[in-house]
Each structure stands twice: as structure tokens, then as C-alpha cells.
């Protein structure tokens, strides 16, 4: 049996500079002082960092492959149809995704898991005796072709990351990505491959520190586990947290391990929360997230903010999530590369694109916001 350290750990070379004790100062104050991340805002570039059009990872073959996932049938094509209906694809740079190789997927996932997934995918064998060990079953059935689907999604996010590395854009989008539950050797929560982790690992080839922001309904456990031992990737997850709710992790006390201690931040939310309280949490915390980003962009080669899977989070309303997303444009002022891997329903696309670039949408659409 692999331990948590063996399954997830990736300790790194450098500890953060010593400062105030996180326990004494509190996480917010520690972020401001303990890690020496400055609170000063850099000057906003004249063009807002928007001289380069966003990159849209797309091909008809990729959309068709993503449509094949039984848990979310045809969602990819619905998203693309909405983008086409408003001619938004004409204002973005379309880049055809590559398919992830076995070697690229193995930068995070174990060879044994990948080989088993490939085997059952080719055979369409959902009853293989070893599948339970790898998390293949009820929520992640081993259907025919599932390995090809996983490789396609992983490759799309890696392609988006490479576009940022190559300086092709400031923002890269994979609308069908953000499968954040998959573990090193285990499928989980409809996720067969953790493309978010693969994207972060690719970005780490150039960028020293990565900030991962997860606004999905569920805790981003797979990504947090992957980087729980390192100070090079800070994971932030806002999610529902209650007894019996999947995946059952992400308590406020889960802050990382070893060198990664206090580099995992969880904001667990219970049922019944109203917009005002939810927005207050997001507003106060997002200031820290933005400031973390701005400091490295000025002091080092550049830091990347990655904002995967965003979907409705509250059983009460959806309006609050749009309020959360209003913070995302702030990150554009720091000239930081943004990799956005979404697993989103079509009704979200227009509002997200307006936040990414206010020039993409007609005025009457850009001013629209869903009501609760």
C-alpha cells in the first residue's frame, strides 16, 4: 500500500523565507508577511496585458472526443456552439490540441495505472478484477475508448500550458479540462486523468511558483494531494464541505505537509450559505491570492495563476459564483499567464469570456449577469 507521501509528495528545493509563524500570525497575515509577499500593487500596463488574444484550445476531433464521456454527454459541443453563435472564436487564437503521450501522462500518474486504464479501455472490460484497485467502477466506469478520452483532455491542458510557456498568449483556455479528482494511481469522481496536475507540472518547466485556484462545488483533492509536500505550488479550494458529501476532504485544518505546510488553503462551506456571506469570504481572500500573484511577476521570471474547474457551488443560488469570478480580471493587471481549464455548463461561458476580455462580447451581453 502506497503511503500519502509516496502517492502525492513532491518536495522541492527551497523553503520559503522565514517570517512570522503561521500559527501566531494567521494564514492571511502570514501570506502578507511570513512569505515576504508584498501588498503593493504594481502599475497596470497600458493595454491591461491584453495585447495578445486569448488562446482557445479547440478542434472538431477534440470536441467529439469530449462529447463521448457518458457522464456529461454532448456538453463540449454545446459549449463550442455557444462560442460560435457569438463569433467569439474569431476573436481568440485557436490552437489545435495534441494528445498526451504515455510519457507525459506518467509525469504524474503511475505506469501501472496508465497501463491498466489503456488495457480495459481497449477491451471495454468494466468487470476486470483489478479495476477496483484503480478506482474504476461506479463513478468512473472502464468503458471502451476511455483511455483515448483521458489522453485527449490531458493533452489539451498541456497544450494550453505550453502556449503560455512559449509566450503565445497571456490567457489559455481548455473548456473541457479541469478534472481535479484523479489521483496518482486512481480514478475518482468522473476523473480518469488529472489534467490540472499535468498542466501545472508543464508550467513548472518555466515558472517558479504556481497559484492554483479551484472554485468547483467539490474539493480539489487530487490537485491538493499532488502538491501537498511542496512550497512551489499553492493550492486554494473553495468548496462545499458537509458529512457524506464527496470527496469528504478539504477541511480548514488541511494545510499541506512538510515543506508544503501552509501552501494548501481550504475554504469549506456548508449548505445554506447566502450570497452575502459567500461573497465576503471570496472578496477578502481573493485579495491575498491576487497579491501573491503580483509579487512574483515583478520579482522573478514570472508566476502563473491557474484557475481550473469553475462551476456552480451553492445549492442556494448561482449568483454568488459570478460575484466570485469578478475577481479574476484583477489577475490580468499583473500580466500573469492564466491557464483556465473548465468543466462548465454552457450558460457560464458568456460571462466567463466577458471577464477574460471585455472586448469579446457585445455590450448588451457583457452587462448581463444571471440572477438568483
The 10s digit of each residue's pLDDT in 242-259 is: 899 999 999 999 999 999
Decide if 44 is inside a domain. Answer: no
249 vs 272: CA distance, rounded Å: 19
Higher pLDDT among residues 319 and 85, named by residue: 85
Decide if 196 is inside a domain. Answer: yes
Instruction: Quote the pLDDT of residue 203.
Output: 92
Beta bridge partners, 305, equal 211, 338
Residue among 324, 243, 337, 336 nearest 294 (CA): 336
Residue among 138, 348, 130 nearest 246 (CA): 138
Is residue 157 within 8 A of residue 40, CB to CB? The reply is no
CATH number at residue 326: 3.40.800.20
Residue among 64, 90, 87, 88 nearest 77 (CA): 64
Decide if 315 is inside a domain. Answer: yes
- Helices 75-85 and 349-356, packing angle to 10 deg: 60
Is residue 177 within 8 A of residue 199, CB to CB? The reply is yes
The band of 276, judged by pLDDT with boundaries at 50, 70 and 90, is confident
Instruction: Quote the pLDDT of residue 73.
Output: 86
Please report which helix (H) or strand (E) contains residue 321, including its range.
Answer: helix 319-325
Higher pLDDT among residues 155 and 212, named by residue: 155
Beta bridge partners, 237, equal 214, 266
* Range with the poorest average pLDDT among 56-65, 96-105, 152-161, 292-301: 292-301
Return the half-sphere exposure (C-beta side, CA atoms, 13 A cut-off) of residue 363: 0
Decide if 4 is inside a domain. Answer: no
Decide if 7 is inside a domain. Answer: no
pLDDT digits (tens, 9 = 90+) for 37-68: 333 343 444 554 458 999 999 999 999 999 99
74 vs 178: CA distance, rounded Å: 17
pLDDT digits (tens, 9 = 90+) for 9-39: 443 434 443 333 344 334 444 344 444 433 3
Decide if 313 is inside a domain. Answer: yes
Instruction: Quote the pLDDT of residue 217.
Output: 84
What average pLDDT does the segment 108-112 reach?
98
What average pLDDT does the segment 278-292 reach?
51
Is residue 205 within 8 A of residue 165, CB to CB? The reply is yes
Domain limits for position 207: 23-38+49-366
Could you tell me the pTM of the whole model?
0.73
Instruction: Quote the pLDDT of residue 138.
Output: 83
Higher pLDDT among residues 217 and 344, named by residue: 217
Report the number of distinct structural domains present in the chain: 1
Q: In angstroms, how far is CA 1 from the centroid of its own chain? A: 28
Task: Tell me whether residue 181 is one of the annotated catalytic residues.
Answer: yes
Q: Is the pLDDT of residue 134 over 80?
A: yes
The band of 121, judged by pLDDT with boundaries at 50, 70 and 90, is very high
Beta bridge partners, 176, equal 343
Residue among 283, 252, 280 nearest 266 (CA): 252
Residue among 329, 332, 338, 305 nearest 160 (CA): 338
99 vs 153: CA distance, rounded Å: 8
Could you say which of 80, 181, 219, 239 is catalytic?
181
Decide if 215 is inside a domain. Answer: yes
Decide if 6 is inside a domain. Answer: no
The band of 341, judged by pLDDT with boundaries at 50, 70 and 90, is low
Amino acid at each position: 500500500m502506497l503511503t500519502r507521501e509516496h502517492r502525492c509528495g513532491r518536495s522541492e528545493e527551497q523553503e520559503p523565507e522565514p517570517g512570522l509563524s503561521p500559527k501566531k500570525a494567521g494564514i492571511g497575515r502570514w501570506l502578507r508577511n511570513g512569505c515576504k509577499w508584498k501588498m503593493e500593487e504594481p502599475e497596470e500596463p497600458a493595454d491591461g496585458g491584453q495585447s495578445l488574444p486569448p488562446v482557445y484550445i479547440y478542434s472538431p476531433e477534440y470536441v467529439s472526443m469530449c462529447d463521448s464521456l457518458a457522464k456529461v454527454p454532448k456538453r463540449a459541443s454545446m459549449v463550442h456552439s455557444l462560442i460560435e453563435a457569438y463569433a467569439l472564436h474569431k476573436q481568440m487564437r485557436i490552437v489545435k490540441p495534441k494528445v498526451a503521450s504515455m510519457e507525459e501522462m506518467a509525469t504524474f500518474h503511475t505506469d501501472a495505472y496508465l497501463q491498466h486504464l489503456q488495457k480495459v479501455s481497449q477491451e471495454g472490460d468494466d468487470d476486470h478484477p483489478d479495476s477496483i484497485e484503480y478506482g474504476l467502477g461506479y463513478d468512473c466506469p472502464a468503458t471502451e475508448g476511455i483511455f483515448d478520452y483521458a489522453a485527449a483532455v490531458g493533452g489539451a491542458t498541456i497544450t494550453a500550458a505550453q502556449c503560455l510557456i512559449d509566450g503565445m498568449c497571456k490567457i489559455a483556455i481548455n473548456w473541457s479540462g479541469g478534472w481535479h479528482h484523479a489521483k496518482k494511481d486512481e480514478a475518482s469522481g468522473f476523473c480518469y486523468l488529472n489534467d490540472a496536475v499535468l498542466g501545472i507540472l508543464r508550467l513548472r518547466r518555466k515558472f517558479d511558483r504556481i497559484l492554483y485556484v479551484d472554485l468547483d462545488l467539490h474539493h480539489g483533492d487530487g490537485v491538493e494531494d499532488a502538491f501537498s509536500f511542496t512550497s512551489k505550488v499553492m493550492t486554494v479550494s473553495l468548496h462545499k464541505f458537509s458529512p457524506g458529501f464527496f470527496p469528504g476532504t478539504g477541511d480548514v485544518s488541511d494545510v499541506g505537509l512538510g515543506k508544503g505546510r501552509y501552501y494548501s488553503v481550504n475554504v469549506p462551506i456548508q449548505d445554506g450559505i447566502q450570497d452575502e456571506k459567500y461573497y465576503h469570504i471570496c472578496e477578502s481572500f481573493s485579495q491575498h491570492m491576487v497579491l501573491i500573484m503580483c509579487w512574483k511577476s515583478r520579482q522573478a521570471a514570472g508566476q502563473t495563476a491557474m484557475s481550473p474547474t469553475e462551476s456552480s457551488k451553492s445549492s442556494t443560488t448561482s449568483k454568488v459564483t459570478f460575484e466570485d469570478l469578478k475577481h479574476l480580471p484583477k489577475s490580468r493587471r499583473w500580466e500573469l499567464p492564466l491557464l483556465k481549464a473548465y468543466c462548465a455548463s454552457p450558460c457560464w461561458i458568456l460571462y466567463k469570456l466577458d471577464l477574460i476580455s471585455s472586448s469579446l462580447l457585445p455590450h448588451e451581453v457583457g452587462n448581463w449577469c444571471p440572477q438568483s
